[in-house]
Every structure is written in C-alpha cells, then in structure tokens.
C-alpha cells in the first residue's frame, strides 16, 4: 500500500496542471505540423508507443475491476438489475446515435463532392483483405469474452470461504495497475503534441479541403449529439451537460491526446466514483460500455455510410435504411475505444451492406486520424452519461 500511495502522490503533483499542459501541447503541435511538416510527419511513433504502453494495462484493469465487483457482492440480484438497465439504455442510445448521424449527413450532404478531386488524398487502393485479421478479431468479441471470464471468476470467489481475502487481493492488484497507468498518463502532453503535429504535418490542410465538409460535418454532428441528445438526457435528470463535461475534463483531454476512449476507462471509473456515483453501477456500466456503448462510433458510422452513398449517388429505400441501422447496431458492438477500430467496424459494415463500393472506404481512411479524436471524446462523455442514467434509476 505504501508503494501505491507514493506513486499516487507523485502523479497527483505532476497532473496538477495537466489540462493546461495538454492544451498548450495541442496548439504547439498544430504549429509544428504547419511550419515543420517534414519533421512532424515522423512523430507518429510517439503516439503508437504511448498507446502500446497503455493497452496491456487496460484489459487487466477491466478484468480485475469485474472480478472484485462480483466477488464482493452481497446481493447478486442488484447487479442483474444494473446489467439489464444498462443493456436497455445501450441499445436505445445506440439507435438514436446512428439515426442522428444519418440525419446529419442527409442535412449537411458531405458526400456531394467531385470524386475527381479526391485523387490527391487517397492512400492508394484499399485492400480489404489486409483487415480480415482485425475484422475476425472484432467479430470474436474478445472484450466480451474477457468480461464473461471475469464474471465467472468473481462469482466463484463470491461463493468461496476465502471471499474477503480474495476480493481484497484482486482489488489491491487493481489499485496497483491503476497507479502505473496514472504514471504513464503523465506523458500525455508529449503524446498530444506529437499526435497533432503528425496529423497536420502528414496530411496538411490543402489536401483535406475536398473532404473538409465530411470532416467538419463529423465534428458538428458529435458536438450537437453531445449537447442536444446527451444534454437533454441529463436535463431530465436535472443535471447540466456543461458542468458534467467540466467535471471530467481531464479524462476528455486524455481521450483527445490518445485518440482512445478505451485507455481512459480506468481513470473515468475513478472520477465517477469520486463525484458520488454508485460504485457497482460505475464499474458495470463503464466496462461493458467499452464495447456496447460507443456513442461517438455510432454517430460516425451513421454519417460515414450516408457519406459513401452520396459520394456514389446511391439511394436507399426506407426498408434498406432500417436494415442499415440494424447492421450498424450489430457491427458497432464489436468495436472498442481503441484507435482505428471505428474504421475497421466501418469496413465490416460496408461489406455487410453490399451496395456501397469498397474502394470508397479509402476516402474516409485518409481522414480517419482526424475523426478519431471526435469519436474518442464523444464515447467518453457517453460512458459518463450512461453511468449517471443507470445510477439515477438504481436503488441504493
């Protein structure tokens, strides 16, 4: 415990002005990408290294959290109620997010551009076979398998004579891994700088003008979804979306810097517990929501499908649109908050729809790095709102 306390004390001091540090890093990274594009274009390895350092700890934290949660339960029925409420909310909000993205794309019409202008930004022919390994990985739902295994182990511990000791042991491990994660996140400003610098330096601004409408439209759609849809949900709970965002601003900046909502799940859980949300609710909703409640990804998928349809002048009947919503609803549940998985799920979705030419995905691949930040931030806010909703409807 002493070691954990020392690590937490050090990271708390280093994180004292982290929000300001990340904002400065983003501005500096943008300037670096504009004025020193050749150097900035070589900085991608920093972000890759950071994400590679975080990823090995995310699954263990989720696993240990679920084992501790189910192992220490006094009333198993209460968790069953939480899971049912969470799943109902996940399905409803996912459908709303998909429809919202499709409606926004229909209003903004981002795909109404000249395809001849896209030649400069296309990253070459998109070979979907190179994604087959990742698609299979997504379809295997490894995160859901992890959760199922953790639940089983937790229930076994719950019924054993060593319940208290085993639960305390797993909780101690969770706190230790969390402390290591917090220490790694001290380097978030460096990652934010390099990530923004690489994106601007690699793609520039002129080359993105032909599809700037889609890029801007995605950010506008995410912004409106957060403040209109999620804001309305919190308003029904007599809460303010702006105040809530301010409460989790550090976690949102982490998501922005890493382009990953998955990496901030452990930190978000701690933050939500600190502000008074029920411990059991937070842990169940956030860890399951990492695969089942990705609001930003759903908005992105809805917009992207309509963008590609507009790009190739494809019209859908109402029946086909309903079918597309159901396809996205299913494929989106195979995603995680890890960078790039949103696009991989889009590949699966387009292949399932059949009518959209696969080569059109190359257009979106060229700007996916820019849109991943919007997905990550929206996903993170969505996780928090889901916890608030389920917590407010769960008896103590």
Model pLDDT, residue 124: 47
- Alpha-carbon distance of 379 to 290, in angstroms, equals 9
Give the structural domain span for 192: 2-392
97 CB-contact burial (10 Å; exposed 0-12 / middle 13-18 / buried 19+): buried
Classify 290 as helix, strand or coil. helix
Domain tally, the chain: 1
Question: Hey, what's the torsion of the CAs at 135, 140, 145, 147, to 10 degrees?
Answer: 30
- Alpha-carbon distance of 106 to 245, in angstroms, equals 28
50-to-56, 206, 301 alpha-carbon distances in Å: 11, 29, 26
177 CB-contact burial (10 Å; exposed 0-12 / middle 13-18 / buried 19+): buried
Which residue in the block uniquely carries the two structure tokens 């030649």?
119
Here the CATH number for the domain that contains residue 50 is: 1.10.3860.10
Model pLDDT, residue 183: 75
Block means of pLDDT (10 residues each) for the chain, length 396 residues? 51 57 80 86 77 71 78 74 90 96 92 60 46 45 69 85 86 81 75 76 62 85 96 95 93 81 85 88 86 90 92 88 88 62 74 76 70 90 95 77
Classify 239 as helix, strand or coil. coil
Model pLDDT, residue 142: 59
The pTM for the full model equals 0.72
Model pLDDT, residue 130: 43
Model pLDDT, residue 191: 76
- Alpha-carbon distance of 1 to 246, in angstroms, equals 31
66 CB-contact burial (10 Å; exposed 0-12 / middle 13-18 / buried 19+): buried
Model pLDDT, residue 128: 46
How far out from the chain centre does Cα 18 lie? 21
366-to-30, 189, 246, 328 alpha-carbon distances in Å: 18, 25, 32, 21
């Amino acid at each position: 415990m002493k070691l954990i306390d020392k690590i937490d004390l050090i990271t708390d001091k280093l994180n004292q002005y982290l929000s300001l540090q990340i904002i400065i890093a983003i501005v500096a990274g943008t300037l670096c990408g504009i004025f020193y594009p050749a150097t900035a274009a070589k900085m991608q390895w920093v972000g890759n290294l950071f994400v590679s350092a975080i990823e090995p700890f995310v699954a263990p934290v989720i696993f240990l959290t679920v084992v501790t949660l189910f192992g220490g339960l006094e009333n198993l029925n209460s968790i069953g109620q939480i899971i049912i409420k969470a799943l109902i909310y996940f399905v409803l909000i996912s459908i709303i997010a998909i429809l919202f993205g499709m409606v926004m794309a229909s209003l903004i019409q981002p795909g109404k551009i000249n395809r001849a202008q896209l030649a400069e930004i296309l990253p070459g022919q998109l070979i979907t076979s190179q994604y087959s390994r990742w698609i299979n990985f997504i379809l295997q739902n490894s995160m859901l398998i992890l959760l199922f295994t953790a639940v089983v182990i937790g229930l076994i511990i719950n019924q054993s004579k060593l319940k208290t000791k085993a639960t305390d042991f797993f909780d101690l491990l969770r706190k230790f891994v969390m402390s290591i994660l917090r220490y790694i996140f001290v380097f978030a400003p460096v990652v934010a700088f390099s990530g923004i610098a690489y994106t601007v330096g690699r793609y520039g601004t002129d080359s993105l003008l032909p599809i700037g409408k889609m890029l801007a439209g995605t950010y506008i759609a995410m912004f409106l979804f957060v403040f209109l849809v999620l804001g309305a949900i919190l308003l029904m709970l007599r809460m303010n979306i702006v105040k809530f965002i301010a409460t989790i601003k550090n976690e949102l900046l982490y998501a922005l810097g890493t382009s990953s909502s998955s990496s901030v799940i452990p930190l978000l859980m701690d933050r939500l517990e600190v502000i008074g949300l029920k411990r059991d609710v937070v842990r169940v909703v956030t860890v399951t929501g990492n695969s089942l409640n990705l609001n930003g990804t759903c908005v992105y998928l809805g917009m992207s499908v309509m963008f590609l349809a507009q790009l190739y002048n494809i019209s859908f009947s109402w029946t086909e649109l309903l079918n597309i919503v159901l396809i996205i609803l299913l494929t989106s549940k195979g995603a995680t908050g890890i960078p790039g998985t949103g696009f991989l799920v889009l590949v699966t979705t387009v292949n399932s729809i059949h009518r959209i030419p696969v080569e059109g995905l190359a257009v979106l691949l060229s700007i996916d790095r820019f849109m991943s930040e919007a997905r990550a931030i929206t996903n993170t806010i969505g996780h928090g709102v889901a916890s608030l909703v389920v917590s407010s409807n769960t008896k103590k």
